[in-house]
Amino acid sequence: MGANLKEVRERIKSVKSTQQITKAMKMVSAAKLRRAQQAIQQMRPYADKLNEMLVSILSNLEGDAATSYGVEREVKNPAVVVVTSNRGLCGAFNTNVIKAAVAKIEQDFEAQRAAGNLTIICIGKKGYDYFKKRYSDCTIVNDYVNLFSDLSFDNVSTVSQLLMDGFKDESYDAIFVSYGRFRNAAVQFAEVDQFLPVPKMEKSEDDKAIRADYIFEPSKEELLDHLVPSILQTKFQKYLLDTHASEHGARMTAMEKATENAEDMMKELKISYNKARQEAITRELSEIVGGAAALEG
């Protein structure tokens, strides 16, 4: 019985230590989340409006050299960018982003994968660790795994520019991004978005697209040469800021649940400990009473 009490005491001590760690991690994630949430909430309206304008412009230009980022061609060499975190302990967040990317590949790019023409570009170690083990028949690019160490526009734009250049020189015929879209601290969801070519605006029932009335100054060609890459770079940075905020939101929620579970476990262990101690006391009293009765006899 003494050994059992000691074991329960050790388990209580272990769970309490774990709870202290999960509490600390929750506080750290909450602090990081505030900054990450502020960054994406400030950028999202701007990035969404720019993307809306880009889609509108390119959907209504025809036969213009400046629309090279909107050119649709047969997808022989697709690229899938998988944006995950570098660390775990954030619930199913990374798993969901990876599952979304896998579903896209299995649905649209199995033939290209079988031909060895699929490229998977990993941003974040969790995605890279998954795909390097299971997708050896694909080109796995890990040059940008640690991109989250610096999410400044200048640093992120070097990667988006390389992707854009790869699309222009036809190294990639289409580029999709699987990332974690941030809704709030408790809700994040995986999403696969078409980065390139720029999706065309949906047409109405009478097959007439809504034409945007833009006035270009300076010339249309000169302006689009600078405008389109800038908008695409902003859009790509939004993917990373979304994922960054989603990671910390998911980790904060996971650590909060872990802390609550540790509290419940400690309550159960304390009940078990008290029961075991009461049994030990009852047993000792019974032995004392039995010994006394034997002496009197």
CB 15 within 8 A of CB 262: yes
Q: Poorest-confidence range of 57-66, 235-244, 268-277?
A: 57-66
In the chain, what are the domains?
2-20+259-287 (no CATH), 21-203+210-255 (3.40.1380.10)
- Cα end-to-end span (Å), the chain: 29
Task: Tell me the residue length of the chain.
Answer: 297
Banded pLDDT at 226 (limits 50, 70, 90): confident
* Cα 178–Cα 242–Cα 34 angle in degrees, nearest 5: 150
pTM over cut 0.85: no
Establish whether 122 is a catalytic residue: no
Candidate list 40, 83, 90, 252, residue with the active-site label: 90
pLDDT per position as a tens digit, 109-167:
999 999 999 999 999 999 999 999 999 999 999 999 999 999 999 999 999 999 999 99
DSSP symbols for 109-132: -HHHHHTT--EEEEESHHHHHHHH
